[in-house]
């Protein structure tokens, strides 16, 4: 019997480190579709681990202690009682609003100074601000109930207009200086709370018009869901959130795994932003844009090459910062069980200016579209399509954009005056006009890049065009006073070498 | 709503999707705007098409663009 000689089987070559990293990345990005991880995330142990990992990453994202505690508490409650998540988020949202009435970081100090001036030395200004926030919640509940029950009044017919009139009326009263110190302190505390919740209140009114509106009290709870740290209402209102609510255990597990993926990406971007910003300034001597513009007004003018480096790095870091911040918020919303779209999706891939806004800051763009673009588009210039689109875009990108950013500046009115705020705003006003013009031209252009145009005309040139437009426009994207418009123009001229 | 009108609606949406390089199929209930397949610019073209081809009068404070989110919702709006 012939002895069979064993034939050595060649081993498959072991993958190199790059191939391994690519395989890990692919596996990581696919965890929300992987049956094994989906099953694990539906068990008590897996769900617990998922939450612990998420909380650790949320802590790493650098949220304030109160916001972090409220977020973790809300997410734990949502994990234990998933079918009650709307009510629980609403309850912690109201608590969040009363504990932290203002979103502007300067408002608590301003409010404290105004209450001290009015003679409220014995009572904590934070307590007084919380009382004003509680009153605000009560008023919102009454107004929302009024809207739900009857539309025969101005609040019912034009709620957003009513909001704008009320806010600007209060601002006028506050800026007039005619009120007593006590009335001034309470008035500005109320304005601070109202302005910080202005857009979420707008969404609450709009949501009451949906086919199956939630009760007014639920809307009040969503004026300040715990994830909303700034004024842009990520997740819009309750009607939008409900469309993305996980319908079963598997969908919930997938949504939470998406949340985990997103917060990891957010932390990577956040660290990139911090370290690259530091590296550019301290190691390579590239100043930030504001310092470069301030230098433009003095004797230390930058050369064309350095000015371009300043602009490109500022643009890049700003986009990365917005993406990182938005991802943390969206990840928290997803962890609560709502698979809402991301705030930023590959903004550098945009081929048109209009597309960039959709990809760069989705929820801010949605706010401008919902409150300014569509109301104008459905009412004015219906006979002429181009003028109709241009006017609606102007209303959103310029008027709406300015109103939104002006609200961030109202904190300076009581002590520095309206004139100071308006003077600081001239640059932003110009920015909003440049932005609106760019978006209008981008929307009305008949030619859109197509894949058949080739690499240069489809992939490269449109993206360079978008980058150049925003790099130039960003020079004016500033609401702080202190830099003359002439210095900003001079900086732009300096980019050409003059 | 007659089947021919629903077909026309589908054709309009298909054209809008194709203009964005999206040729994948879509169902009656698929979320087109919230799902990210169409953007607000597409919504403006859709509104213009609904106004000109279906004589739909869009306006007033009660209009909500999410009413156009799927073929089924558009059909409800036009019914």
Q: Quick one: pLDDT at residue A128?
A: 93
- Domain extent for B63: 3-78
**Contact call for residues B68 and B77 (beta carbons, < 8 A):** yes
Cα–Cα dist A304/A60, whole Å: 38
Judged by CB atoms closer than 8 Å, whether chains meet at A374 and B51 is answered as no
CB-CB neighbors (< 8 A) of B63 in chain A? 374, 378
Q: Quick one: pLDDT at residue A10?
A: 58
Instruction: Give per-residue pLDDT as tens, A462-471.
Output: 999 999 999 9
Q: Quick one: pLDDT at residue A450?
A: 78
| A158, A354, A451 ranked by CB distance to B41: nearest | A354
Nearest residue on chain B to A244, judged by CA atoms? B34
| B34, B59, B64 ranked by CB distance to A379: nearest | B59
> Helix, strand or coil for residue A401?
helix
DSSP state of A12: P
Instruction: Give per-residue pLDDT as tens, A60-83.
Output: 998 889 999 999 999 999 999 999
Nearest residue on chain B to A355, judged by CA atoms? B39
Judged by CB atoms closer than 8 Å, whether chains meet at A243 and B31 is answered as yes
CB-CB neighbors (< 8 A) of B19 in chain A? 448
Mean pLDDT of chain B: 84
**Contact call for residues A114 and A104 (beta carbons, < 8 A):** no
Q: Quick one: pLDDT at residue A90?
A: 95
- The distance in angstroms from the start CA to the end CA of chain B is 6
**How many other β-carbons are positioned within 10 Å of the β-carbon of residue A252?**
22
Closest approach of A370 to chain B, Cα-based (Å):
8
Task: State the best of A237, A344, A374 to mutate against chain B, taking most chain B CBs within 10 Å.
Answer: A374
Judged by CB atoms closer than 8 Å, whether chains meet at B63 and A374 is answered as yes
Whose tokens are 């588009």? That residue is A377
Q: Quick one: pLDDT at residue A3?
A: 45
Give me the sign of the Cα torsion angle A103, A108, A109, A113.
Answer: positive
Cα–Cα dist A404/A409, whole Å: 9
Closest approach of A24 to chain B, Cα-based (Å):
28
Low-confidence spans in chain A with pLDDT less than 70: 1-13, 151-155, 299, 446, 498
Closest approach of A260 to chain B, Cα-based (Å):
21
Judged by CB atoms closer than 8 Å, whether chains meet at A365 and B40 is answered as yes
- Residue pairs between chains A and B whose CB atoms are closer than 8 Å: 49
Task: State the best of B41, B42, B76 to mutate against chain A, taking most chain A CBs within 10 Å.
Answer: B41
Return the closest-CA partner of residue B67 out of B52, B47, B37: B47
Q: What is the largest CA-CA distance in chain B?
A: 34
**Contact call for residues A426 and A476 (beta carbons, < 8 A):** no
Is the minimum CB–CB distance between A245 and chain B shorter than 8 Å?
Answer: no
| B40, B51, B64 ranked by CB distance to A210: nearest | B64
Nearest residue on chain A to B77, judged by CA atoms? A211
Judged by CB atoms closer than 8 Å, whether chains meet at A239 and B66 is answered as yes
CA A82 centroid distance within chain: 26
CB-CB neighbors (< 8 A) of A244 in chain B? 34
Judged by CB atoms closer than 8 Å, whether chains meet at A448 and B19 is answered as yes
Q: Quick one: pLDDT at residue A51?
A: 97
Return the closest-CA partner of residue B62 out of A479, A147, A352, A347: A147
Q: What is the CATH number of the domain that holds B9?
A: 1.10.1200.10
Low-confidence spans in chain B with pLDDT less than 70: 59-63
Closest approach of B59 to chain A, Cα-based (Å):
5
Considering its fold, how many domains does chain B have in total? 1
| A209, A358, A443 ranked by CB distance to B62: nearest | A209
| B21, B48, B65 ranked by CB distance to A374: nearest | B65
Is the minimum CB–CB distance between A378 and chain B shorter than 8 Å?
Answer: yes
Q: Quick one: pLDDT at residue B1?
A: 73
> Helix, strand or coil for residue B54?
helix
Is the minimum CB–CB distance between A358 and chain B shorter than 8 Å?
Answer: yes
| B39, B59, B64 ranked by CB distance to A209: nearest | B64
Instruction: Give per-residue pLDDT as tens, B59-77.
Output: 665 667 778 889 998 898 8
H-type helices in chain B, by residue range? 3-19, 40-54, 71-78
Closest approach of A35 to chain B, Cα-based (Å):
23
CB-CB neighbors (< 8 A) of B59 in chain A? 378-379
């Amino acid at each position: 019997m012939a002895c069979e000689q064993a034939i050595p089987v060649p081993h498959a070559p072991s993958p190199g480190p790059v191939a391994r990293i690519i395989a890990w990345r692919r596996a990581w990005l696919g965890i929300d579709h992987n049956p094994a991880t989906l099953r694990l995330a539906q068990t008590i142990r897996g769900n617990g681990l998922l939450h612990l990992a998420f909380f650790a990453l949320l802590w790493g994202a650098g949220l304030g202690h109160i916001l972090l505690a409220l977020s973790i508490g809300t997410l734990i409650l949502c994990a234990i009682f998933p079918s009650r998540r709307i009510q629980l988020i609403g309850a912690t949202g109201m608590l969040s609003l009363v504990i932290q009435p203002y979103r502007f970081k300067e408002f608590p100090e301003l409010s404290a100074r105004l209450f001290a001036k009015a003679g409220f030395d014995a009572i904590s200004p934070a307590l007084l601000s919380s009382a004003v926030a509680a009153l605000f919640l009560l008023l919102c509940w009454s107004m929302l109930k009024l809207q739900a029950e009857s539309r025969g009044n101005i609040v019912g017919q034009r709620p957003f207009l009513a909001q704008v009139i009320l806010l600007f009326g209060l601002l006028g009263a506050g800026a007039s200086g005619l009120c007593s110190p006590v009335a001034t302190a309470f008035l500005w505390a109320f304005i601070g709370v109202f302005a910080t919740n202005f857009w979420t209140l707008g969404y609450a009114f709009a949501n009451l018009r949906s086919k199956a509106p939630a009760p007014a009290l639920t809307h009040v709870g969503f004026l300040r869901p715990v994830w909303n740290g700034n004024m842009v209402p990520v997740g819009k209102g309750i009607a939008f959130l409900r469309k993305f609510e996980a319908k079963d255990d598997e969908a919930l597990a997938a949504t939470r795994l998406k949340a985990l993926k997103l917060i990891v990406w957010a932390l990577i971007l956040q660290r990139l932003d911090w370290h690259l910003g530091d590296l550019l300034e301290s190691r390579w001597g590239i100043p930030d844009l504001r310092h470069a513009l301030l230098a433009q007004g003095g004797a230390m003018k930058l050369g064309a090459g350095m000015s371009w480096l300043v602009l490109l790095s500022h643009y890049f870091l700003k986009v990365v910062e917005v993406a990182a911040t938005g991802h943390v918020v969206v990840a928290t919303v997803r962890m609560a069980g709502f698979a809402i779209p991301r705030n930023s999706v590959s903004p550098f891939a945009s081929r048109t200016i209009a597309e960039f806004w959709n990809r760069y800051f989705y929820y801010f763009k949605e706010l401008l579209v919902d409150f300014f673009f569509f109301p104008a588009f459905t009412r004015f210039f219906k006979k002429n399509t181009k003028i109709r689109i241009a006017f609606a875009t102007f209303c959103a990108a310029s008027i709406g954009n300015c109103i939104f950013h002006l609200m961030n500046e109202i904190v300076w009115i009581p002590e520095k005056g309206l004139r100071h705020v308006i003077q600081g705003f001239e640059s932003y006003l110009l920015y909003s006009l440049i932005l609106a013009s760019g978006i209008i031209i981008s929307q009305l252009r008949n030619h859109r890049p197509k894949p058949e145009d080739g690499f240069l005309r489809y992939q490269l040139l449109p993206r360079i065009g978008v980058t150049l437009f925003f790099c130039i426009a960003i020079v004016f994207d500033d609401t702080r006073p202190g830099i003359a418009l002439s210095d900003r123009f001079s900086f732009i001229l300096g980019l050409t070498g003059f | 709503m007659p089947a021919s009108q629903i077909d026309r609606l589908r054709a309009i949406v298909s054209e809008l999707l194709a203009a964005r390089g999206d040729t994948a199929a879509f169902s009656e209930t698929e979320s087109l705007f919230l799902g990210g397949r169409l953007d607000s610019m597409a919504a403006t073209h859709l509104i213009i098409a609904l106004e000109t081809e279906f004589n739909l009068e869009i306006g007033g404070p009660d209009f909500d663009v999410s009413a156009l989110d799927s073929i089924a919702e558009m059909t409800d709006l036009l019914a």
